[in-house]
Chain A
Amino acid sequence: MDPIIPQKFKDRYSPLVDDPEAFLQSLLTQPPKSFRANTLKASVREVKSRMESYGFSLRQVPWYPDAFISSSPEIGSTLEHFLGHIYVQELTSMLPALTVNEIQKAGLVLDACAAPGSKATQLAALMANRGALVANDLDYHRIKALKFNLERCGCLNAVITNQDLRYYPEKQEFGAILLDAPCSSEGTIRKNPSLLSRWSENDILSKAGLQRQLILKAYGLLSPGGTLVYSTCTFAPEENEGVLDFLLSKTEAKIQEVKIPGLKTSRGIEEFRGKKFSREVKKAVRVWPHQNDTDGFFLAKLVKP
């Protein structure tokens, strides 16, 4: 049975999308299974050839050669998964780590909300285990999964902290920070249709309040010239452009254009329900689920002058 999409939800997002019908339709289907080759332990070519030997039909992702879409959902039951040669990960979740400027020169990198570790393990791979990666998460119960995944993937440069980012110790500056903020997760409705039954605008507003505190703190932890990547898996402008607009009004932060050749994206929204955001937020990236058959995602790259 198809999940019921609340009318309020349709009214909210249909005006923001290029093709409302395709958008709403996409929410009723599951996104394809995808994984990333973990280059700390194996080569992309080797992984591809092994996974194909099981009869899986793979499609290399045009904007990220380490990533593949698989015809089979059984990618988690493979030798490659046991060996840590692959990480089962939704495609849009691979975007933030790819967006960091010159990550190998960043030195010290913070993944602020890291559990269960999909982005942290990708960051460690992109850093080639050099420098140091601080993988932080507030939720102690999720730290176990984070540690398990970092170790399975052979991440040697990672340090785990279990802190509330809002009160994070300020004794160290980071060359790059990923803030994949806790959000209302509307972009993952395809995987978790039950989210729709709990969906409420109050939840959006409460998450937006938290996100404002988190982005301000994260920006404060950044060293001059450093990159802050802000991302959510939700559509709500209050949690996306609204949060960027807040940071821009409080700090000297600049938004940089993000170019991902091969991925269909939309620009950030300048106005929502009468509220005008800074024109800079246009440089943010929206990925609607129907554009590339993925989850929905939002992403912005900020730099500290």
Chain B
Amino acid sequence: MKNDILAYFEERFGIAKKEFEGFRLYADRKGRVMLGPKGIPLDDKAISVGMQIARVGNDMKPSTNFLQLFGRHATKNSISLTKEQTHAYLMGEDVQPSGKVDATDGYVLLKYLDYPLACGLLKNKTIKNVLPKPRRMDAKHL
């Protein structure tokens, strides 16, 4: 599962495996994949390691936190949002992309002003909102 996720990031977003050098992948029984330090101190006491980068279930879903950190290495399947679309997405709403979309259905990297913003799910020309509830906000300043 852990190796599959790196292959998926490369295939779907063009994020090369070398970007993860220096870190190690961890997986738990709930299908969560984490990127963390190479050695875990107090491994039997650790209740969380590094950052969750994906969840593997019926599909592989990259986390927003992961895409914010590594999204600048992405070369494909990204969609740029306008200010209004960004506000709506951060509020938890689905968004209709404007103009020509250069991405295939599936998880996409959403960008705003060239910043890797979040993970979205492109389906039937709509960007479905997959932002975790605690991450949603009413961004007054964009």
Q: Please determine whether chains A and B interact with each other in the same assembly.
A: yes
Whether B52 and A151, one on each chain, are in contact in the complex, defined by CB atoms closer than 8 angstroms, is yes
Whether B115 and A83, one on each chain, are in contact in the complex, defined by CB atoms closer than 8 angstroms, is yes
- Residues of chain A within 8 A (CB-CB) of B139 are 77-79, 82
- Residues of chain A within 8 A (CB-CB) of B23 are 156
Identify which of A29-37, A142-150, A183-191, A253-261 touches chain B.
Answer: A142-150
- Residues of chain A within 8 A (CB-CB) of B47 are 143, 160-162
Q: Whole-angstrom distance from the CB of A86 to the nearest CB of chain B?
A: 11
Kindly state whether residue A193 has any CB partner on chain B within 8 Å. no
User: Which residues of A in the span 122-148 have a Cβ within 8 Å of any Cβ on B?
Assistant: 130-132, 134, 143, 147-148
Docked Cα-Cα span, A163 to B37, in Å, equals: 20
Kindly state whether residue A17 has any CB partner on chain B within 8 Å. no
Whether A84 and B68, one on each chain, are in contact in the complex, defined by CB atoms closer than 8 angstroms, is yes
Kindly state whether residue A152 has any CB partner on chain B within 8 Å. yes
Docked Cα-Cα span, A78 to B113, in Å, equals: 14
User: Which residues of B in the span 73-90 have a Cβ within 8 Å of any Cβ on A?
Assistant: 86, 90
Docked Cα-Cα span, A203 to B137, in Å, equals: 37
* Proximity bits, B45-59, A CB within 8 Å = 1, else 0: 111111110000000
Interface, chain A (partner B; CB < 8 A): 40-41, 54, 74, 77-79, 81-84, 108, 130-132, 134, 143, 147-148, 150-152, 154-163, 169, 171-172
Instruction: Contacts A77-B138, A157-B50 known; list 5 others, CB within 8 Å.
Output: A81-B137, A147-B48, A152-B135, A158-B48, A159-B37
